[in-house]
Amino acid sequence: MDDPYAQSAEYIDLLIADAWGLFAPGLSEALHGLGDEPGVTVDLGAGTGRGVAVICASLPDSSPVLAVEPSPALRAVLLARAHEDASLRSRVTVSPADAMSVPMPEQVRVLVAMNMIGHLSPDDRRELWQRVAPRLVRGGRVVVNLAPPARPVAIPRTRMASRTVGGLTYEGWASAEAVGEHQIRWHMTYLTRSPEGAAVAEVAVNYDWWVMDEGELRAEFAEHGLTMRQIGHPDAGLYVASHVQG
Ligand SMILES: C[S@@+](CC[C@H](N)C(=O)[O-])C[C@H]1O[C@@H](n2cnc3c(N)ncnc32)[C@H](O)[C@@H]1O
């Protein structure tokens, strides 16, 4: 696999922390009121495990969580996070597969796909919904967010996030260009700065990202009998989809 996170992994957990301040309450709300049907909660593209921690805190019923993370470098952080906390260690299984190759559990309580759906092509997304929809337990859900932009447009270079740890500051900068009818190419630069502002390390990474808007996502879910609604803070772009209960 071509891993866009191989070079930038050390920056990802730090620089996504602020965004999780917005995502965590929304994800928690999306999991609220889940029935007690047995099944697995799958976190696709679990990254460094921030979503896994929210899932375990929001579902304090010891039900199993399958954290799927294809990037070895991010998986190392995920596994450390899962191992370090006894309440996660006993219920979180970390898989090195990806979204399309992971054997999907027969009973899925929730499928979570946070900040990752743009890595999947429209065909892969449809195949994924097709595999997941029939496996959702009664009351089961799909939780996904759409990160802007919703259309293939150029994004000028912007500082996305910054965090200081000890004597060094870590920054993530992003710009994007349209590369297709439904695709953009992110140009990411990650910098480590000294207190004086000098760059002591710099990594540049480019990767393609499939974009879509709320209406397109809604239509995809509807093809598989799933009804979608927005949840959480509007800026989180978070949606929850489920079968309409008969
Ligand atoms: C921006 S990170 C988000 C990580 C995490 N979900 C979060 O929100 O903190 C995107 C994640 O998707 C993963 N990813 C990329 N392609 C994938 C695929 N085909 N299947 C599953 N995960 C994938 C990456 O390795 C990375 O962990």
Q: Are residues 139 and 175 in the same domain?
A: no
Q: Which two tokens stand for residue 219?
A: 């239509």
CB 202 within 8 A of CB 176: no
Of all atoms in ligand 1, which is nearest to the CA of residue 45?
A: 22
Domain-embedded: residue 115: yes
Q: Is the CB of 98 under 6 A from ligand 1?
A: yes
Q: Are residues 54 and 96 in the same domain?
A: yes
Q: Is the CB of 14 under 6 A from ligand 1?
A: no
Q: How many CA atoms lie within 13 A of 132 on its CB side?
A: 32
69 CA from centroid of ligand 1 (Å): 7
Probe residue for ligand 1, chosen from 75, 119, 125, 188 as the CB with the greatest number of ligand atoms within 8 Å? 119
Q: Are residues 233 and 201 in the same domain?
A: no
Q: Are residues 57 and 129 in the same domain?
A: yes
Q: Is the CB of 209 under 6 A from ligand 1?
A: no
Domain-embedded: residue 201: yes
pLDDT, residue 206, reads 97
Please report, as a single letter, which amino acid is at residue 120: L
Q: Are strands 226-230 and 238-243 parallel, antiparallel or unpaired?
A: antiparallel
Domain-embedded: residue 139: yes
Q: What is the CATH number of the domain that holds 178?
A: 2.20.25
CB 146 within 8 A of CB 137: no
Give how far Cα 72 sits from Cα of 47, 79, 110, 124, Å. 10, 10, 24, 22
Q: What is the CATH number of the domain that holds 100?
A: 3.40.50.150
Backbone angles phi, psi at 2, to 5 degrees: -85, 105
Q: What is the mean pLDDT of residues 93-104?
A: 98
Q: Are residues 51 and 170 in the same domain?
A: no
196 CA from centroid of ligand 1 (Å): 33
246 CA from centroid of ligand 1 (Å): 34
Using CB atoms within 10 A of its CB, is residue 173 exposed (0-12), middle (13-18) or buried (19+)?
middle
Q: Are residues 62 and 169 in the same domain?
A: no
Using CB atoms within 10 A of its CB, is residue 48 exposed (0-12), middle (13-18) or buried (19+)?
buried
As a whole number, the mean pLDDT across the chain is: 97
CB 50 within 8 A of CB 20: yes
Q: Are residues 176 and 221 in the same domain?
A: no
Reported as a pLDDT band with limits 50, 70 and 90, residue 121 is: very high
Q: Are residues 56 and 25 in the same domain?
A: yes
pLDDT, residue 197, reads 96
116 CA from centroid of ligand 1 (Å): 5
Reported as a pLDDT band with limits 50, 70 and 90, residue 2 is: confident
46 CA from centroid of ligand 1 (Å): 6
Percent of the chain with pLDDT over 90: 96
Cα distance between residue 155 and residue 186, in whole Å = 9
Cα distance between residue 71 and residue 51, in whole Å = 16
pLDDT, residue 244, reads 85
Domain-embedded: residue 78: yes
Its domain, for residue 132, covers: 9-146+212-243
Cis peptide leading into 103, omega within 30 of 0? Answer: no
Q: Are residues 18 and 140 in the same domain?
A: yes
Q: Are residues 86 and 26 in the same domain?
A: yes
pLDDT, residue 246, reads 53
Domain-embedded: residue 99: yes
Cα distance between residue 170 and residue 192, in whole Å = 5
Q: Are residues 172 and 182 in the same domain?
A: yes
pLDDT, residue 222, reads 97
Residue range 186-245, pLDDT digits in tens:
999 999 999 999 999 999 999 999 999 999 999 999 999 999 999 999 999 999 999 987
Q: Are residues 195 and 112 in the same domain?
A: no
Q: What is the mean pLDDT of residues 98-121?
A: 98
Q: Is the CB of 119 under 6 A from ligand 1?
A: yes
Tally of domains in the chain: 2
Residue range 123-175, pLDDT digits in tens:
999 999 999 999 999 999 999 999 999 999 999 999 999 999 999 999 999 99
Domain-embedded: residue 164: yes
